[in-house]
Structure 1
Amino acid sequence: MKFAFVIFKYFPYGGAQRDMLRIARDCAARGHAVRIYTGQWRGDLPEGGIEVVCLPASGWFNHQRHQNLIEAIAARLREDEPDLVVGFNRMPGLDVYYTVDPCFIERAHRERGWLYRRSGRYRFFAASEKAVMGRESSCHILLLSEREKKIYQRWYHTPDERFHPLPPNIPLDAFAGIDRSEARNALRAEFGLPGSATVVLMVGSVFKRKGFDRTLRALASLPQPLRSNLWLLAVGEDRPNALMALARRLKVVDRLIIASGRADVPRLMMGSDLLVHAARSELAGLVLIEAMTAGLPVLVTDVCGYAEHVAAAGAGLVLPSPFDQGKMNAALARMLASPQERAQWGEAGRRYTAEIAARRSPTLEAELLEEIAREKRKGRGRD
C-alpha cells in the first residue's frame, strides 16, 4: 500500500518527529511505499525507500504559512492518491491523526482572552482541529494520553470508536550497549565537570514551554551544600539568550550548561543523576519514557501525558497542578538529598518500561495503520 505521512516541519530531535520517522520506517520495512510530505526538513534524509517531498509555504504569519502548506500538500496528495494519509499536525483530509499536541481550543479558552478568539490565527487552528476531531469527521486518532481524549470529547463529542489508545513505545535499542559508568565519566569529561558532579538533565525544544526556567529557579533555591556540586545540563533546540539571562539574574549561570539538540541523548541520560521536566504543556513527553528506560529518576509536572507512567511506576515525583514553584523547589531538594531514593526510583522506572516492552508489539502503530487502510479500501470497494 501507499502511505502518506504529513508533518509541517521535521528536525531530528523533536519527539513527534522521531515518532513519525520511526513509524514510517516500520511501514516501509513491512513492504509499503512511504512518502513524507513536509514544509521543512532538517537533517539526513531517511533511507530504506522512504521519499521526502518538501513543499513551499509562504505568508507573513505562522497560520498563513501553515494554510498555504496545507493547500500545497492537499494538491500533491490528489495527484499521488495514497491509500492512507497519516498526519502529525492537524489539518483537513487526514485518515489518521497521531496526537502530538494538546487540544488547541481548550488551551485557547483557558489561557487566552476573547479578543484572541476573534483572530485569524484562532479561526485557522480551531478549524484545523475540528476537521480532525469533529463529530462529522471520519479521521482515526492514535491516542497517546487518555486524559487528552476526555478534553477532546468535551469540546467535539468525538466518538469513542475513532480513538486508538497506544501504550508508549519503549526505546530499548537506544540504550542497549551503553555502560552507565562509562557514560557518567564521558559526560563529565566532555563538559569539564568534576568526576563526582551531580548532573540534572533537561531535554526539550522551546525551553520556556518545557519549564527550563522553573528548574533554574528551583536550582537557585537550593541550600548551598546541595548546590555546590550540582550542574544543570539543558539540551534542546531553542535560542539560549533568555535562559542565560535568567541564570545570570539568579546567580547560577556557572551551574548551567546549554547544548543544542544532539543524537546521543540516551548516553547523556545514562550519565546523569536526574531528569527534570517541569513542562507547562506536554501532551505526552517521550523524554519521560526514555528516562525511565534508562533507569533515570524523573521530576515532572502532571500536565505531561506520560507523567501518569512516572506515577504508576513510582519512578520519581509528579508535581500537581496548579504549578507551585515552592513545591517544585522542595521536590528537587528532596530528590537531590537522597541518592538511595534516586536509585529506587530509577530501578522502578526501568522495570516498568521493560514490562511494557515485553507486552507491546514494537511495530504496533504500523500494524494499526495497515488495519485502518484495509478498512478504508473495503469501504471504497477496492478489495
Structure 2
Amino acid sequence: MKFAFLIFKYFPYGGVQRDMLRIAKDCVALGHQVTIFTGEWQGPQPANIQVKLCASNGWRNHTKHASLISAMQQAVRAEPFDLVVGFNRMQPIDVYFAADSCFIAKAHEERPWWYRLTSRYRWFQQAEASIFSPGSNTHILTLTPQEQTTFQHWYQTPSERFHLIPPILDPQRFPSFNRAHGKQWLADTFGILPEQIALLLVGSGFKTKGADRAVTAIASLPESMRKNVRMLIIGQDNPRWLQKHIEAHHLSSQIQVLGGRDDIPQLMQACDWMVHPARRELAGHVLLEAMACGLPVVTTNVCGYAPYIENAGAGIVLASPFTQSALDQALATALTSERATFSKAGLACANQLMQDNPGKAEAKLLTQLASEKNIGSTNTAP
C-alpha cells in the first residue's frame, strides 16, 4: 500500500520528527511505499522513502502553516494514496499522530484571556477541532491515556477513534556500555572529570524542557556540592537566553549548552543523573531512553511518561504545581542518594517495555486502518 506522511518540518533531533521517520521506515519494512511531504528537510534523506518539499508563504507561523498545508494537500491529491497520515494539526487526513498536547487546553490554562481573541489562536483551535470534533472521521494515535482524556474533555471525541500506542524502545539503540570507559570519554570529550557529577538535560525547546529551572537548581546547591557538578544541555534551540541565565548564576564554567547530537545513548550511559523539569511534555520518550541506559531521572509529573519513572523507582518525580524549591531539594537529594538503586530499577522497567512492545506497533496499526478504509470504499462504491 501507499502511505503519505505530512509534517511541517523535519530535523534530526525533534521528538515527533524522529517518531515520524521511525514509523515510515517500519512501514517500508512491512512492504509499503511511503512518501513524506514537508516544507523543510534537514539532514540526509532516508533510503527507500521519497521526500517531497512543498513551498509556503506568509509572515506569521499560522499563515505559513495554512499555506504549506494547502501545498501539501495539492501534492497529495496528485497521487493515489491508501492512507494520509498527519504529524501536525491539519485536514484532510485519515490519521493524526498526536505528538502535541491539547492546544485549546494550554490556551485556557496557560495563556491570558486575550490570547483567545487572536488570529493565531483561532487558526490553531480550528485546526485542532477539525481533527478531534465528533463529526470528524480522523483516527488519532495517542501516546498516553492522560492526553486522550484531555482531548475528550474539550472536544467530546468518540473513544473508538483513539488508538493508544504503547511506549517503544529499540534495543539496538542502547548497546551495552562500560561505565568506566564512559566516564573517561566524558573527560576526553567534554572535560568532565570522572570524580565530578555529570548531569544531563536532553530536548529541543529549552524553555519547555525546563532548562532554566535545572540551572537554578544547580545554583541552589550547597557550595561543597555545587563545585563538583557539571551539566550538559543538549538540544536544537536558540541558546542565547539560556546562556544569559547561566551567566547570571555564575555557572558558565560548569554548564555546557550544545546543539543536537547523535550520541545521546552514550551520553546517558556515561552521565550520573538526568534532570528534566519540563513545563509540559506530552510523553517524554527521553525519560524511557534514560531508564534503558540506567540513568536516574529527576522530572516533573506533567510528562506523560513520568509514571514509568515513579512506578519503577527510577528517579524522583515532582508533583504539580511546580515549585523551584521542590526541584532544588529533589536535586540535592538525588546527588546524595544511592544512584545504583535507581539505575537498576530503571533498567528493569525498560527491559520490560522492550518485551511488551517489540516494535512496529504504529506501522501495523496504519496497515490495518488502510485496509479498513479500502474495504469501506469498496463497500460504498456505486
Q: Secondary structure at the match of 2:375?
A: helix
Q: Distance in 2 between matches of 1:46 and 1:225?
A: 49
Report if aligned partners of 2:184, 2:193 keep a CA contact under 8 Å in 1.
no
Task: Report Cα offsets for 1:28-85 as digits up to 9, x if no partner.
Answer: 11110100011110011001x1000110111110000000000001111111121111
Q: Which amino acid aligns with 2:58?
A: G
Q: Which amino acid aligns with 1:357?
A: M
1:65 maps to: 64
Q: Secondary structure at the match of 1:362?
A: coil
Report if aligned partners of 1:283, 1:304 keep a CA contact under 8 Å in 2.
yes
Pairs within 5 Å for 1:1-383: 1-47=1-47, 49-338=48-337, 340=338, 342-381=339-378
Q: Secondary structure at the match of 1:253?
A: coil
Q: Distance in 2 between matches of 1:190 and 1:199?
A: 13
Q: Shift of residue 353 of structure 1?
A: 1.2
Q: Shift of residue 361 of structure 1?
A: 3.1
Report if aligned partners of 1:226, 1:337 keep a CA contact under 8 Å in 2.
no
Q: Which amino acid aligns with 2:231?
A: L
Task: Report Cα offsets for 1:243-296 as digits up to 9, x if no partner.
Answer: 111111112221111111011111110110001111111101111111011110
Q: Distance in 2 between matches of 1:241 and 1:159?
A: 44
Q: Distance in 2 between matches of 1:282 and 1:378?
A: 37
Q: Distance in 2 between matches of 1:45 and 1:179?
A: 32
Uncovered stretches (5+) of structure 1, i.e. residues with no partner: none
Report if aligned partners of 1:274, 1:296 keep a CA contact under 8 Å in 2.
yes
Q: Shift of residue 368 of structure 1?
A: 0.5
Q: Distance in 2 between matches of 1:6 and 1:81?
A: 15
Q: Distance in 2 between matches of 1:265 and 1:193?
A: 16
Q: Shift of residue 330 of structure 1?
A: 0.2
Report if aligned partners of 1:92, 1:131 keep a CA contact under 8 Å in 2.
yes
Q: Distance in 1 between matches of 2:51 and 2:178?
A: 35
Q: Distance in 2 between matches of 1:362 and 1:12?
A: 20
Report if aligned partners of 1:101, 1:283 keep a CA contact under 8 Å in 2.
yes
| Structure 1 consecutive aligned stretches of length 4 or more whose deviation exceeds 6 Å | none
Q: Distance in 2 between matches of 1:333 and 1:261?
A: 28
Taking structure 1 as the reference length, the TM-score comes to 0.97
Report if aligned partners of 1:301, 1:320 keep a CA contact under 8 Å in 2.
yes
Task: Report Cα offsets for 1:207-250 as digits up to 9, x if no partner.
Answer: 11110000000000001121121101100111221111111111
Report if aligned partners of 2:186, 2:193 keep a CA contact under 8 Å in 1.
no
Q: Which amino acid aligns with 2:158?
A: P
Q: Shift of residue 177 of structure 1?
A: 4.0
Q: Distance in 1 between matches of 2:243 and 2:256?
A: 9
Q: Which amino acid aligns with 2:232?
A: L
Q: Distance in 2 between matches of 1:21 and 1:130?
A: 26
RMSD of aligned residue pairs (Cα, Å): 1.2
Q: Distance in 2 between matches of 1:9 and 1:331?
A: 36
Q: Shift of residue 312 of structure 1?
A: 1.7
